[in-house]
Amino acid sequence: MIKEKVSSDALITQIIAGIEDVKGNDITILDLREIENTVTSYFVICNGTSNTQVNAIVNSVQRKVSKELQENAWHVEGSSTAEWVLMDYVNVVVHVFQKHIREYYDLEGLWGDAKTTNIESTY
C-alpha cells in the first residue's frame, strides 16, 4: 500500500500544537512558495528559553507529528547543542532556536520576501 502524502497544512497544525504543548515562544510561519529556488514550502520558527526547553520543543513536535500523522522528520540536526535545531519534514522545515541565536541569525529578515504569519500563543 502506498502511503499518502501528508498535507503541509496538517503538518504545520501538528508542529504548532507540539510547540505549544511545551510553551515554545514566538511562533512564526514563513510561506516560501512564491519565492524562487527555495528548498521547502514553509519554515516554522520558534524559540525556547534554554537548551532544555529547545530539546523539549523538538521532542514534543516529533511525538505529536508521529502520533497524529505517522510522519517522521527526514533529518534533524543541532540537538547536541540545542541552540538551533533544524527539523526537516521536506515541505516544512522547523527551526527551534534559543532566543539570542534566533535574533543573531534573523531568518525572518533573511527571508523578508516570504509571507509571514505570527501565531498568537494560547497560554
Successive 10-residue mean pLDDT values, the chain, 123 residues: 72 98 97 94 97 97 97 96 97 97 97 95 72
| CB-based burial, 96-110: b 16+ in 10 Å, e otherwise | bbbeebbeeeebbee
Give the whole-angstrom CA distance, residue 36 versus residue 116. Answer: 16
**Domain 8-111: CATH architecture, name and number where available:** 2-Layer Sandwich (3.30)
pLDDT of residue 4: 53
Question: What is the chain's length?
Answer: 123
Give the whole-angstrom CA distance, residue 61 versus residue 15. Answer: 5
pLDDT of residue 1: 43
Does residue 90 contact residue 120 with C-beta atoms inside 8 Å?
A: no
